[in-house]
């Protein structure tokens, strides 16, 4: 069965530090991959997506992610974190034949210290 | 100019009651969804509608009944509410089955 794993439940970084949030998926074919962010009390906002092509994708708010097929990973990165980036981050997989069903990871909560 | 809007944002009700959550999208999308986020923040799809037709029903109790009067609306009606139904319910929409989903702000349902 398809699944998404976000190994880090909670990450704390200092403002200005670099960030990498891990995401691994289990799926037999190439999936569609997404990162969403959820600020406290808010809905989910799409940060970036990968469907095909260049494996390094750029998103909003200075985020990027790299799809590595050999590692079944789609890690999210940001070179310099801002305090406003504190939120819950979700990786999601859409099945390549039908993205009607997004499978989400359990999320990583990011705390940013000044 | 909200893209996907849900009402109400908060809903507190007693066990056994029947309640509805409304969702509307003004993006012109033809696919709409309901997701449930539990207390551990785990998100799981409940239903998916494409052009008002049910596409996905993820083993949700039949106390939950989605209704799509038109492509821009997908409402969720819940009968005989139980304590375990307490969660945040998110509505979402997408242009087709192969594009990203846009989410609403969520409805926090608390059953007491």
Q: Model confidence over A50-103: pLDDT tens digits?
A: 988 889 999 999 999 999 999 999 999 999 999 999 999 999 998 755 556 788
**pLDDT > 90: percent of chain B:** 73
pLDDT confidence band for A43 (50 / 70 / 90): confident
| pLDDT attached to residue A40 | 84
Q: Is A90 in contact with B55 (Cβ distance < 8 A)?
A: no
Interface touch B45/A98, C-beta < 8 Å:
no
Whole-number average pLDDT of chain A: 91
Q: Which of B85, B87, B67 is nearest to B76 (CA)?
A: B67
What is the tens place of the pLDDT at every residue in B51-76? 888 887 777 899 999 999 999 999 99
A51–B98 CB contact, under 8 Å: yes
Closest CA to A4 of A82, A83, A95, A98: A95
Report the pLDDT value the prediction gives residue B57, as an integer from 0 to 100: 78
pLDDT of B4 > 70? The answer is yes
φ/ψ of residue B39, rounded to 5: -65, -20
Q: What is the CA angle A2-B72-B96, rounded to 5?
A: 40
A13 by Cβ neighbours in 10 Å (0-12 / 13-18 / 19+) ranks as: middle
Contact B37, B88 (CB under 8 A): yes
Q: What is the pLDDT of residue B97?
A: 60
Look at residue A17 and tell me whether its pLDDT is greater than 90: yes
Query: Percent of chain A at pLDDT above 90?
Result: 74
Helix or strand holding residue B66 (H, E): strand B64-70
Identity of the highest mean pLDDT range in A36-45, A81-90, B90-99 = A81-90
| CB < 8 Å to A98, chain B | 97
**Distance of residue A25 Cα from the nearest chain B Cα, in angstroms:** 16
Nearest to B70 by CA among B56, B57, B53, B94: B53
Q: Residue A96: what pLDDT?
A: 56
Q: Mean of the pLDDT values across residues A100-112? A: 90
Q: Give the model's pLDDT for residue B55.
A: 81
């Amino acid at each position: 069965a398809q699944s998404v794993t976000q190994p880090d439940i909670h990450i704390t970084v200092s403002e200005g530090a670099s960030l990498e949030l891990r995401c691994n998926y289990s799926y037999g074919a190439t999936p569609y991959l997404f990162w969403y962010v959820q600020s406290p009390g808010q809905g989910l906002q799409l940060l970036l997506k990968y469907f095909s092509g260049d494996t390094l994708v750029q998103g909003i708010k200075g985020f990027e992610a790299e799809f590595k097929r050999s590692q079944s990973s789609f890690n999210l990165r940001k070179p310099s974190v801002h305090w406003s980036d504190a939120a819950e981050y979700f990786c999601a997989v859409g099945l390549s034949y039908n993205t009607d069903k997004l499978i989400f990871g359990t999320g990583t909560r990011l705390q940013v210290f000044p | 100019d909200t893209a996907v809007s849900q009402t109400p944002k908060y809903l507190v009700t007693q066990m056994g009651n029947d309640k509805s959550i409304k969702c509307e999208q003004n993006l012109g999308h033809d696919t709409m969804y309901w997701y449930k986020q539990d207390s551990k923040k785990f998100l799981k799809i409940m239903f998916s509608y494409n052009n008002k037709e049910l596409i996905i029903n993820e083993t949700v109790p039949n106390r939950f009944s989605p209704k799509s009067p038109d492509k821009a609306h997908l409402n969720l009606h819940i009968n005989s509410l139980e304590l375990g139904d307490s969660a945040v319910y998110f509505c979402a929409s997408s242009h087709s089955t192969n594009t990203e989903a846009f989410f609403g702000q969520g409805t926090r349902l608390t059953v007491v």
